[in-house]
Amino acid sequence: MSKLFKILLTLFLILLVLTPISYFIAYPYINEIEIQFGKLNLYEISKKTYISLLTSVSPSPEKYKTVEFESDSIEESIQSKNIVLDSKLLEELNTTLTIDSALIHGRVFQGITSKTMDLGFWHFPLSKYPGQKGNSVIIGHRFFYLPPAKNTFFNLDRVQIGDTIILNHNEGEWKYIVTETRIVNDNDLSVLQNTEDYRLTLITCTPLWTSEKRLVVISKLDKLYQKV
Protein backbone atom coordinates (compact mmCIF):
# COMPACT_ATOMS: atom_id res chain seq x y z
CA MET A 1 0.00 0.00 0.00
CA SER A 2 2.85 2.36 0.93
CA LYS A 3 4.59 1.57 -2.37
CA LEU A 4 1.48 2.50 -4.36
CA PHE A 5 1.18 5.71 -2.36
CA LYS A 6 4.78 6.63 -3.15
CA ILE A 7 4.20 6.01 -6.86
CA LEU A 8 1.07 8.16 -6.91
CA LEU A 9 2.80 10.90 -4.93
CA THR A 10 5.74 10.86 -7.33
CA LEU A 11 3.43 11.15 -10.35
CA PHE A 12 1.57 14.00 -8.70
CA LEU A 13 4.79 15.92 -8.00
CA ILE A 14 5.99 15.38 -11.57
CA LEU A 15 2.73 16.75 -12.95
CA LEU A 16 2.90 19.62 -10.49
CA VAL A 17 6.29 20.60 -11.88
CA LEU A 18 5.62 19.91 -15.57
CA THR A 19 2.28 21.75 -15.80
CA PRO A 20 3.61 25.30 -15.17
CA ILE A 21 6.72 24.58 -17.25
CA SER A 22 4.56 23.46 -20.18
CA TYR A 23 2.42 26.56 -19.81
CA PHE A 24 5.39 28.95 -19.95
CA ILE A 25 6.83 27.11 -22.96
CA ALA A 26 3.52 27.28 -24.84
CA TYR A 27 2.55 30.80 -23.76
CA PRO A 28 4.34 32.66 -26.62
CA TYR A 29 2.39 30.54 -29.09
CA ILE A 30 -0.95 30.66 -27.30
CA ASN A 31 -2.70 32.69 -30.03
CA GLU A 32 -1.60 30.30 -32.76
CA ILE A 33 -2.70 27.32 -30.66
CA GLU A 34 -6.14 28.87 -30.10
CA ILE A 35 -6.53 29.59 -33.82
CA GLN A 36 -5.62 26.04 -34.80
CA PHE A 37 -7.88 24.57 -32.11
CA GLY A 38 -10.72 26.81 -33.30
CA LYS A 39 -10.43 25.28 -36.75
CA LEU A 40 -11.24 21.86 -35.36
CA ASN A 41 -14.83 20.85 -36.02
CA LEU A 42 -15.48 18.70 -32.98
CA TYR A 43 -18.96 17.84 -34.22
CA GLU A 44 -17.66 16.46 -37.52
CA ILE A 45 -14.87 14.55 -35.78
CA SER A 46 -17.26 12.94 -33.30
CA LYS A 47 -19.78 12.29 -36.09
CA LYS A 48 -17.23 10.46 -38.23
CA THR A 49 -16.04 8.45 -35.23
CA TYR A 50 -19.62 7.52 -34.36
CA ILE A 51 -20.39 6.48 -37.93
CA SER A 52 -17.20 4.42 -38.09
CA LEU A 53 -18.18 2.60 -34.91
CA LEU A 54 -21.71 1.97 -36.12
CA THR A 55 -20.71 0.73 -39.54
CA SER A 56 -18.48 -1.87 -37.91
CA VAL A 57 -21.62 -3.57 -36.57
CA SER A 58 -24.08 -2.54 -39.30
CA PRO A 59 -24.66 -3.75 -42.87
CA SER A 60 -22.03 -2.74 -45.41
CA PRO A 61 -22.54 0.59 -47.22
CA GLU A 62 -23.47 -1.29 -50.41
CA LYS A 63 -26.60 -2.48 -48.65
CA TYR A 64 -27.71 0.97 -47.44
CA LYS A 65 -30.91 2.33 -48.90
CA THR A 66 -31.30 6.01 -49.63
CA VAL A 67 -34.18 7.83 -47.99
CA GLU A 68 -36.56 7.81 -50.93
CA PHE A 69 -40.10 7.23 -49.78
CA GLU A 70 -42.46 5.16 -51.89
CA SER A 71 -45.46 7.02 -53.34
CA ASP A 72 -47.82 5.00 -51.13
CA SER A 73 -45.73 5.39 -47.98
CA ILE A 74 -46.88 7.05 -44.78
CA GLU A 75 -44.80 10.15 -45.51
CA GLU A 76 -46.11 10.60 -49.07
CA SER A 77 -49.75 9.77 -48.32
CA ILE A 78 -50.63 13.47 -48.45
CA GLN A 79 -49.48 13.99 -52.04
CA SER A 80 -53.01 13.73 -53.40
CA LYS A 81 -54.42 16.05 -50.72
CA ASN A 82 -54.94 19.73 -51.29
CA ILE A 83 -53.48 21.03 -48.05
CA VAL A 84 -53.22 24.69 -47.12
CA LEU A 85 -51.59 25.78 -43.88
CA ASP A 86 -53.28 28.97 -42.73
CA SER A 87 -50.68 29.36 -40.00
CA LYS A 88 -47.75 27.54 -38.47
CA LEU A 89 -48.85 27.67 -34.85
CA LEU A 90 -46.33 25.12 -33.57
CA GLU A 91 -43.45 27.04 -35.13
CA GLU A 92 -44.78 30.36 -33.86
CA LEU A 93 -44.83 28.87 -30.36
CA ASN A 94 -41.25 27.56 -30.80
CA THR A 95 -42.42 24.03 -30.08
CA THR A 96 -39.72 21.48 -29.25
CA LEU A 97 -39.87 17.72 -28.72
CA THR A 98 -37.76 16.13 -25.98
CA ILE A 99 -37.23 12.50 -24.96
CA ASP A 100 -34.51 12.47 -22.32
CA SER A 101 -34.32 8.67 -22.19
CA ALA A 102 -33.23 8.58 -25.85
CA LEU A 103 -31.23 11.84 -26.00
CA ILE A 104 -33.75 13.34 -28.43
CA HIS A 105 -34.41 17.08 -28.57
CA GLY A 106 -35.32 19.36 -31.46
CA ARG A 107 -37.79 21.80 -32.96
CA VAL A 108 -41.10 20.79 -34.48
CA PHE A 109 -41.81 22.18 -37.95
CA GLN A 110 -44.95 22.38 -40.06
CA GLY A 111 -45.18 21.87 -43.80
CA ILE A 112 -47.20 20.17 -46.52
CA THR A 113 -44.48 17.82 -47.84
CA SER A 114 -42.14 15.25 -46.34
CA LYS A 115 -39.22 17.57 -47.20
CA THR A 116 -40.11 19.41 -44.01
CA MET A 117 -38.28 16.62 -42.16
CA ASP A 118 -35.00 17.96 -43.53
CA LEU A 119 -35.48 20.88 -41.10
CA GLY A 120 -36.32 18.76 -38.06
CA PHE A 121 -39.32 16.94 -36.62
CA TRP A 122 -42.37 17.23 -38.90
CA HIS A 123 -45.90 17.61 -37.58
CA PHE A 124 -48.00 15.62 -40.04
CA PRO A 125 -50.48 18.24 -41.34
CA LEU A 126 -53.54 15.98 -41.45
CA SER A 127 -53.20 15.08 -37.77
CA LYS A 128 -54.33 16.92 -34.66
CA TYR A 129 -52.25 19.47 -32.82
CA PRO A 130 -50.46 18.20 -29.71
CA GLY A 131 -52.64 18.55 -26.63
CA GLN A 132 -55.85 18.14 -28.62
CA LYS A 133 -58.16 15.15 -28.53
CA GLY A 134 -57.24 12.75 -31.30
CA ASN A 135 -54.02 11.53 -32.88
CA SER A 136 -51.17 14.02 -33.21
CA VAL A 137 -48.47 12.62 -35.50
CA ILE A 138 -44.84 13.73 -35.65
CA ILE A 139 -42.47 12.13 -38.18
CA GLY A 140 -38.69 12.42 -38.25
CA HIS A 141 -35.66 11.14 -40.13
CA ARG A 142 -33.69 8.30 -38.58
CA PHE A 143 -30.23 9.07 -39.98
CA PHE A 144 -30.46 12.38 -41.88
CA TYR A 145 -28.82 13.84 -38.78
CA LEU A 146 -26.60 11.68 -36.58
CA PRO A 147 -25.53 11.80 -32.92
CA PRO A 148 -24.23 13.83 -31.17
CA ALA A 149 -26.97 15.87 -32.88
CA LYS A 150 -30.23 15.40 -30.97
CA ASN A 151 -32.73 16.66 -33.56
CA THR A 152 -33.06 13.16 -34.99
CA PHE A 153 -35.00 9.97 -34.27
CA PHE A 154 -31.77 7.96 -34.53
CA ASN A 155 -32.27 6.67 -30.97
CA LEU A 156 -36.05 6.30 -31.10
CA ASP A 157 -35.68 2.53 -30.77
CA ARG A 158 -34.35 3.11 -27.24
CA VAL A 159 -37.69 4.48 -26.06
CA GLN A 160 -39.54 2.15 -23.73
CA ILE A 161 -43.08 1.93 -22.38
CA GLY A 162 -43.43 4.35 -19.48
CA ASP A 163 -40.92 6.86 -20.83
CA THR A 164 -41.85 10.54 -20.93
CA ILE A 165 -42.15 12.66 -24.08
CA ILE A 166 -42.27 16.43 -23.60
CA LEU A 167 -43.54 18.94 -26.17
CA ASN A 168 -42.48 22.33 -24.87
CA HIS A 169 -43.70 25.67 -26.24
CA ASN A 170 -43.79 29.36 -25.31
CA GLU A 171 -47.01 29.01 -23.33
CA GLY A 172 -46.31 25.75 -21.50
CA GLU A 173 -45.84 22.08 -22.30
CA TRP A 174 -47.61 18.83 -23.15
CA LYS A 175 -46.40 15.73 -21.37
CA TYR A 176 -47.03 12.29 -22.85
CA ILE A 177 -46.35 8.81 -21.47
CA VAL A 178 -45.27 6.06 -23.90
CA THR A 179 -47.81 3.22 -23.95
CA GLU A 180 -46.79 1.19 -27.01
CA THR A 181 -44.07 0.66 -29.60
CA ARG A 182 -44.49 -1.27 -32.83
CA ILE A 183 -42.99 -1.86 -36.27
CA VAL A 184 -45.25 -1.53 -39.31
CA ASN A 185 -44.93 -1.58 -43.09
CA ASP A 186 -43.99 1.70 -44.73
CA ASN A 187 -47.49 2.01 -46.26
CA ASP A 188 -49.47 1.16 -43.12
CA LEU A 189 -51.67 4.25 -42.87
CA SER A 190 -53.52 2.95 -39.82
CA VAL A 191 -51.01 4.74 -37.57
CA LEU A 192 -52.22 8.06 -39.04
CA GLN A 193 -55.89 7.48 -38.29
CA ASN A 194 -57.59 9.75 -35.80
CA THR A 195 -58.42 8.36 -32.37
CA GLU A 196 -60.80 9.10 -29.51
CA ASP A 197 -58.00 9.52 -26.97
CA TYR A 198 -55.33 12.22 -26.54
CA ARG A 199 -52.51 10.56 -28.44
CA LEU A 200 -49.06 11.42 -29.77
CA THR A 201 -47.59 9.14 -32.44
CA LEU A 202 -43.92 9.33 -33.41
CA ILE A 203 -42.77 7.66 -36.65
CA THR A 204 -39.36 7.01 -38.20
CA CYS A 205 -37.63 4.53 -40.52
CA THR A 206 -36.39 1.11 -39.43
CA PRO A 207 -34.19 -0.94 -39.51
CA LEU A 208 -31.36 1.54 -39.13
CA TRP A 209 -29.89 2.77 -42.45
CA THR A 210 -33.00 1.70 -44.40
CA SER A 211 -36.50 3.01 -45.14
CA GLU A 212 -37.94 -0.49 -45.39
CA LYS A 213 -40.37 -0.30 -42.45
CA ARG A 214 -41.54 2.18 -39.83
CA LEU A 215 -40.87 2.30 -36.11
CA VAL A 216 -43.91 3.72 -34.32
CA VAL A 217 -43.96 5.04 -30.74
CA ILE A 218 -47.42 5.72 -29.30
CA SER A 219 -48.00 7.80 -26.17
CA LYS A 220 -50.94 9.27 -24.25
CA LEU A 221 -51.34 12.72 -22.74
CA ASP A 222 -50.13 12.38 -19.15
CA LYS A 223 -53.12 13.81 -17.23
CA LEU A 224 -55.49 11.37 -18.88
CA TYR A 225 -53.08 8.45 -18.82
CA GLN A 226 -52.77 8.68 -15.04
CA LYS A 227 -56.52 8.10 -14.71
CA VAL A 228 -56.58 4.92 -16.80
- Identify the pLDDT of residue 64: 46
Q: Across residues 180-186, what is the average pLDDT?
A: 97
pLDDT band for position 109 (cuts 50, 70, 90): very high
The answer to whether the predicted template modeling score (pTM) of the entire model surpasses 0.85 is no
Segment 39-78, tens digit of pLDDT: 556 556 665 565 555 555 455 444 444 456 666 688 777 7
- Identify the pLDDT of residue 16: 73
**Of 203, 46, 187, the residue nearest 127 (C-alpha):** 203
**For all residues of the chain together, what is the average pLDDT?**
82
Q: Domain 64-225 belongs to what topology?
A: Sortase; Chain: A; (2.40.260)
- The domain locations on the chain are 2-40, 64-225
